[in-house]
C-alpha cells in the first residue's frame, strides 16, 4: 500500500504539473512507499508567488508571535515523533534507533531553539556617532528564500533550512531531494497545523536540473540556501552571481580523524566506528580519514576491525539493527566502485568492501569497510565516498598530522584524539574546518553553528549565526538638528 506525494503550495496539497511520474521507494527493501508527479517550472513559479504573497504579513509579525508559532510547531512534531521516525527510517533505509534517537529529537530541539532565537535578533546600540545624527541598526528579513536540500538527513535538512529563515520573518520555497520528500511534507503540514500562515512554507519536489534550477534562477528569490555536493554548489553560486543573489552553501566533507599516540585507544576506536558508520556513512561530517600515530597504528586497526565486525546490518524497523542500507542502489554502486578503484590502486581492504548477502540483497546495503595502505593523493582519500567506508593511515610527527588533516579540498569537520592539552589546542587552531571535535566526533547542538571552510562552502546552519544570514543589516541615520545648511555641505558650497 502506498500514498501519493503531493506538493505543498500556499497551504494546499497539489499534484505536480511536469507530467513526469516518480516514486519514493524504501531503499532497504525496494518497496514503493509513495508515487506522484514531479514539480515542473510552473509549480515552482506558483510556490514562489505564494511565498511572495505571504511575505508582507509574515515579515510584520512580532518576534513573539513567530516564537509562539514555532513552539506550537515543535509541539505538533513532538506529538507525532513516532510517525516521523518511522517514515524517515523507511524512506532513507536508516535504522529506527537512529531516527528515534537523533533525527527526530534533533529536529524538535532545533525548532525550540529557533523559537527562542526569533526573539534575539540583535544589532548595535543606537547612538549619535557623528554628533548630529542618531544611527540605529535594523535587521530585516530578505524576502523569499529558495532552499534546496539533499537526501541524507531529509527531516533535519528541511529544519536547518526552514527554521532560521522563518524565525527571521522570511518565507520559503524548499525543494527536497525527490528521493526523500515525505518527511519534509509532513514537517510543512505540522507548521500549518501550528498556525503558521499558508504560503510561508512551500514544498516542491522535483529534480535538481528542473525544479532546483527553476528555483535557483527565479527572479523573485532573494537568497539561495543550498545543502548538497560541492559540484552542484559551485554551479549554483555561479548562477546566482549573475543576479547578485545571496548564497548559502553547505557542501561536501571529508573529515579527518587524528589519533595522537597519547590518545585513549579504546575511545578513539569506538569513536571511529560510530563516526564513520552513522547513517551508513552518508553524513557530510562522518569520519572518513583516520590518521593514527605510528605507535598506536596496528592496535587501532585491529580494534576498529573487531568493532566493525560487531555492527549488525538488518531490517530498519528492528531496534536491534545498527546499520541500514544506503539511500539507493545507485549510491551503493558508486561506493562500491570507489572501493574497487582503491583496491585496484594498491590499497588493502581489511574488512567489508562488498554488499552483504543473505536476506539483505533486496536492499542497497554495503558492509562496514576499513581500508589501509591507500596513497594520500588517491581518490579514496581525497574524494567524498558518502558510504560506510573508513580509510586508516599512519603518521609520524605532529606536523605531519596537521598537514595530512588539511590535505583535501574540503573543510567541514575534523576531530583530534589526545590527552595532551597542547596537542588539542594546536589541532583546534590549525585544522581548517568549520568544526573541530576533541576526543569525540559527530555530536551537534542547536546553539552552535555548522558550516564549512574551503570547498565545503560558506554560511552557517543552526545557531544565531544562521539566523543572521537570513537577514539584511540596515543602517538608519537620522539627522537631529534640522539645520538647512549642514556643516558637511561646505565641501560643495559654503554657507551664505
Ligand atoms: P546533490 O546531488 O548536490 O543534490 C543536493 C540537492 O540539489 C538535491 O535536492 C538535488 O536534486 C539538487 N540539485 C542537483 N542539481 C541541481 C541543480 N543544477 N540546480 C539546483 N538543484 C540541484 O547532493 P546529494 O547527492 O543529494 O547529497 C549528498 C551531498 O550533500 C554530499 O556531497 C554531502 O556532503 C552533502 N551534504 C552536505 C551537508 C552540509 O551540511 N555541508 C549536509 C548534508 C549533505 P536531486 O535530488 O534531483 O539530485
Ligand atoms: Mg543528486
pTM above 0.85, yes or no: yes
End-to-end Cα separation, the chain, in angstroms: 86
Q: Residue 148: nearest ligand to its CA?
A: 1
Q: Flag whether 496 is in a domain.
A: no
250 is catalytic: yes
Q: Are 169 and 59 in contact (CB under 8 A)?
A: yes
Q: Catalytic: which of 88, 250, 367, 469?
A: 250
Q: What per-residue confidence (pLDDT) applies to 2? A: 64
C-alpha cell at position 276: 564513520
Average pLDDT for residues 294-323, to the nearest whole number? 98
Same domain for 22 and 113, yes or no, is yes
CATH number at residue 403: 3.40.309.10
CATH number at residue 179: 3.40.605.10
C-alpha cell at position 284: 557530510
Residue closest via CA to ligand 1's atom 36 equals: 228
Q: Residue 211: nearest ligand to its CA?
A: 1
Q: Flag whether 489 is in a domain.
A: no
Secondary structure tally for the chain: helices H, strands E = 16, 22
Same domain for 51 and 162, yes or no, is yes
Q: Flag whether 485 is in a domain.
A: no
Provide the residue count of the chain: 496
Domain span at residue 164 reads 3-251+456-476
* Residue in 207, 228, 238, 456 to alter for ligand 1 test, most ligand atoms within 8 A of Cβ: 228
Q: Flag whether 304 is in a domain.
A: yes
Q: pLDDT tier at 101 (50, 70, 90 boundaries)?
A: very high
Per DSSP bridges, beta strands 410-411 and 453-454 are: antiparallel
Query: Ligand 1 in contact with 216 (CB < 6 A)?
Result: yes
Cβ atoms < 10 Å from Cβ of 299: 13
Same domain for 215 and 146, yes or no, is yes
In eight-state DSSP terms, residue 391 is: E
Average pLDDT for residues 83-109, to the nearest whole number? 98
Residue closest via CA to ligand 1's atom 9 equals: 177
Same domain for 40 and 117, yes or no, is yes
Same domain for 260 and 240, yes or no, is no
pLDDT in tens, 156-174: 999 999 999 999 999 999 9
Q: State the average pLDDT for the chain.
A: 97
CA of 228 to the centre of ligand 1 (A): 3
Q: What per-residue confidence (pLDDT) applies to 494? A: 86
Closest residue by Cα to residue 85 from 106, 103, 108, 112: 103
Q: Are 26 and 326 in contact (CB under 8 A)?
A: no
> How many domains is the chain built from?
2
C-alpha cell at position 278: 552513522
Q: Are 7 and 39 in contact (CB under 8 A)?
A: yes
pLDDT at 464 over 60: yes
Same domain for 221 and 90, yes or no, is yes
Closest residue by Cα to residue 348 from 358, 337, 339, 359: 339
Cβ atoms < 10 Å from Cβ of 394: 19
Q: Flag whether 482 is in a domain.
A: no
Query: Ligand 1 in contact with 177 (CB < 6 A)?
Result: yes
How buried is 428 (Cβ within 10 angstroms: 0-12 exposed, 13-18 middle, 19+ buried)? Answer: middle
Q: What per-residue confidence (pLDDT) applies to 358? A: 85
pLDDT at 1 over 60: no
430 is catalytic: no
Query: Ligand 1 in contact with 40 (CB < 6 A)?
Result: no
Q: Are 329 and 29 in contact (CB under 8 A)?
A: no
* Residue in 150, 164, 251, 458 to alter for ligand 1 test, most ligand atoms within 8 A of Cβ: 150
Q: Flag whether 443 is in a domain.
A: no
Query: Ligand 1 in contact with 151 (CB < 6 A)?
Result: yes
The residues, ordered by sequence, that sit 6+ positions from 353 with a Cβ below 8 Å of its Cβ are 339, 343, 367, 369, 371
In eight-state DSSP terms, residue 461 is: B
Query: Ligand 1 in contact with 208 (CB < 6 A)?
Result: yes
14 vs 185: CA distance, rounded Å: 12
Same domain for 40 and 186, yes or no, is yes
Cβ atoms < 10 Å from Cβ of 23: 12
Crossing angle between the packed helical segments 81-92 and 182-193, to the nearest 10 degrees: 160
Which stretches of 80-195 are DSSP H helices? 81-92, 96-98, 104-117, 154-167, 182-193
pLDDT in tens, 118-158: 999 877 889 999 999 999 999 999 999 999 999 999 999 99
Q: What per-residue confidence (pLDDT) applies to 427? A: 98
Same domain for 420 and 340, yes or no, is yes
pLDDT in tens, 368-423: 999 999 999 999 999 999 999 999 999 999 999 999 999 999 999 999 999 999 99
Same domain for 119 and 218, yes or no, is yes
pLDDT at 184 over 60: yes
Same domain for 80 and 165, yes or no, is yes
Q: Flag whether 213 is in a domain.
A: yes
Query: Ligand 1 in contact with 393 (CB < 6 A)?
Result: no
Give the nearest ligand 1 atom to 450 CA. 40
Closest residue by Cα to residue 360 from 51, 148, 95: 95
pLDDT in tens, 256-279: 999 999 999 999 999 999 999 999
Q: pLDDT tier at 355 (50, 70, 90 boundaries)?
A: very high
Query: Ligand 1 in contact with 252 (CB < 6 A)?
Result: yes
Closest residue by Cα to residue 182 from 105, 83, 73: 83
Q: Catalytic: which of 284, 367, 435, 469?
A: 284
Q: Residue 331: nearest ligand to its CA?
A: 1
Give the nearest ligand 1 atom to 252 CA. 34
CA of 385 to the centre of ligand 1 (A): 14
CA 238 to chain centre: 21
Same domain for 243 and 163, yes or no, is yes
pLDDT in tens, 417-435: 999 999 999 999 999 999 9
CA of 234 to the centre of ligand 2 (A): 14
In eight-state DSSP terms, residue 209 is: I
Same domain for 48 and 76, yes or no, is yes
Q: Are 21 and 36 in contact (CB under 8 A)?
A: yes
Q: What per-residue confidence (pLDDT) applies to 124? A: 81
CA of 15 to the centre of ligand 2 (A): 22
Q: Flag whether 447 is in a domain.
A: no
Amino acid at each position: 500500500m502506498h500514498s501519493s506525494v503531493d506538493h505543498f503550495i500556499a497551504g494546499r496539497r497539489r499534484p505536480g504539473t511536469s507530467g513526469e511520474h516518480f516514486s519514493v521507494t524504501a531503499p532497504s527493501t525496494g518497496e514503493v512507499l509513495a508515487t506522484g508527479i514531479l514539480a515542473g517550472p510552473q509549480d515552482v513559479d506558483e510556490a514562489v508567488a505564494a511565498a511572495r504573497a505571504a511575505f508582507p504579513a509574515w515579515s510584520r509579525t512580532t518576534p513573539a508571535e513567530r516564537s509562539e508559532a514555532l513552539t506550537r510547531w515543535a509541539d505538533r512534531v513532538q506529538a507525532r515523533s513516532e510517525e516521523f521516525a518511522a517514515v524517515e527510517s523507511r524512506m532513507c533505509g536508516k535504522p529506527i534507533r537512529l531516527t528515534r534517537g537523533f533525527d527526530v529529537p534533533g529536529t524538535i530541539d532545533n525548532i525550540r531553539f529557533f523559537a527562542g532565537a526569533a526573539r534575539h535578533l540583535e544589532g548595535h546600540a543606537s547612538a549619535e556617532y557623528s554628533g548630529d545624527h542618531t544611527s540605529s541598526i535594523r535587521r530585516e528579513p530578505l524576502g523569499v528564500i529558495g532552499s534546496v536540500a539533499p537526501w541524507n538527513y531529509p527531516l533535519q535538512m528541511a529544519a536547518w533550512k526552514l527554521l532560521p529563515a522563518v524565525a527571521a520573518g522570511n518565507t520559503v520555497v524548499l525543494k527536497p531531494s525527490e528521493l526523500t520528500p515525505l518527511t519534509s511534507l509532513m514537517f510543512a503540514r505540522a507548521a500549518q497545523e501550528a498556525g503558521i500562515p499558508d504560503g510561508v512554507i512551500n514544498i516542491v519536489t522535483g529534480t535538481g536540473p528542473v525544479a532546483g534550477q527553476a528555483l535557483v534562477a527565479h527572479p523573485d528569490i532573494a537568497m539561495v540556501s543550498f545543502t548538497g555536493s560541492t559540484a552542484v554548489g559551485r554551479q549554483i553560486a555561479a548562477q546566482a552571481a549573475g543576479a547578485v543573489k545571496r548564497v548559502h552553501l553547505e557542501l561536501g566533507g571529508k573529515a579527518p580523524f587524528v589519533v595522537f599516540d597519547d590518545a585513549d585507544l579504546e575511545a578513539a576506536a569506538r569513536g571511529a566506528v560510530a563516526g564513520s558508520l552513522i547513517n551508513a556513512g552518508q553524513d557530510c561530517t562522518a569520519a572518513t580519514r583516520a590518521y593514527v600515530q605510528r605507535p598506536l597504528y596496528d592496535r587501532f586497526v585491529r580494534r576498529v576491525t573487531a568493532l566493525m565486525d560487531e555492527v549488525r546490518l538488518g531490517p530498519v524497523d528492528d531496534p536491534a539493527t545498527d546499520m541500514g542500507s544506503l539511500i539507493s542502489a545507485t549510491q551503493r554502486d558508486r561506493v562500491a566502485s570507489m572501493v574497487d578503484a582503491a583496491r585496484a590502486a594498491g590499497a588493502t581492504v581489511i574488512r567489508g568492501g562488498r554488499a552483504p548477502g543473505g536476506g539483505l540483497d533486496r536492499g542497497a546495503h554495503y558492509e562496514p569497510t576499513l581500508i589501509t595502505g591507500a596513497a594520500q593523493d588517491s581518490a579514496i582519500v581525497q574524494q567524498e565516498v558518502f558510504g560506510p567506508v573508513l580509510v586508516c593511515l599512519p603518521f609520524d610527527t605532529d606536523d605531519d598530522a596537521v598537514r595530512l588533516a588539511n590535505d583535501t579540498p574540503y573543510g567541514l569537520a575534523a576531530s583530534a584524539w589526545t590527552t595532551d592539552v597542547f596537542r588539542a589546542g594546536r589541532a583546534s587552531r590549525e585544522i581548517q574546518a568549520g568544526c573541530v571535535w576533541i576526543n569525540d566526533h559527530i555530536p551537534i547542538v542547536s546553539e552552535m553553528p555548522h558550516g564549512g571552510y574551503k570547498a565545503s562552502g560558506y554560511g552557517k546552519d543552526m545557531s544565531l549565526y544562521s539566523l543572521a544570514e537570513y537577514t539584511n543589516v540596515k543602517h538608519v541615520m537620522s539627522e537631529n538638528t534640522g539645520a538647512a545648511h549642514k556643516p558637511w555641505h561646505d565641501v560643495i558650497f559654503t554657507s551664505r
